[in-house]
């Protein structure tokens, strides 16, 4: 079973903004993800180091560290293509600003 790590930014900012029913679904998905770390879809481009797992309109974005058998959940947010609030657009901004933590 992979060790699960949720970044501070994700647990302090992303998760509290989610509706309670989506938070419950998130917990269930994270439990399954520990058993199957490669479950999510591999992202591409600048996000190729990350994977994504859907929860309704929301996405869990994580990185699987094979060497240490850890999962780093870096962000959880809504998928809104073309919007600045889109989870993937937010992650790209964090990466470019050097603010995306994975530990």
**Residue 4: what pLDDT?**
94
Asked whether residue 12 is domain-assigned, the answer is yes
Which domain CATH number covers 66?
3.30.2310.20
- The DSSP symbol for 1 reads -
**Residue 95: what pLDDT?**
87
> Each residue's pLDDT tens digit in the chain (103 positions)?
889 999 998 999 999 999 999 999 999 999 999 999 888 999 999 899 999 999 989 999 999 998 888 999 999 999 988 888 899 999 999 888 887 765 5
Structural domains counted in the chain: 1
Distances (CA, A) of 38 to 17, 35, 71: 26, 9, 10
Domain that holds residue 71: 3-96
């Amino acid at each position: 079973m992979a060790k699960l790590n949720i970044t501070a930014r994700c647990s302090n900012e992303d998760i509290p903004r989610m509706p309670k029913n989506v938070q419950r679904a998130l917990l269930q998905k994270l439990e399954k993800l520990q058993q199957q770390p490669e479950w999510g879809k591999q992202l591409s481009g600048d996000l190729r180091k990350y994977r994504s797992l859907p929860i309704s309109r929301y996405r869990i974005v994580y990185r699987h560290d094979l060497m240490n058998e850890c999962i780093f959940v870096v962000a959880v947010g809504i998928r809104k293509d073309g919007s600045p609030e889109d989870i993937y657009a937010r992650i790209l901004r964090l990466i470019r600003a050097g603010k995306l933590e994975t530990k």
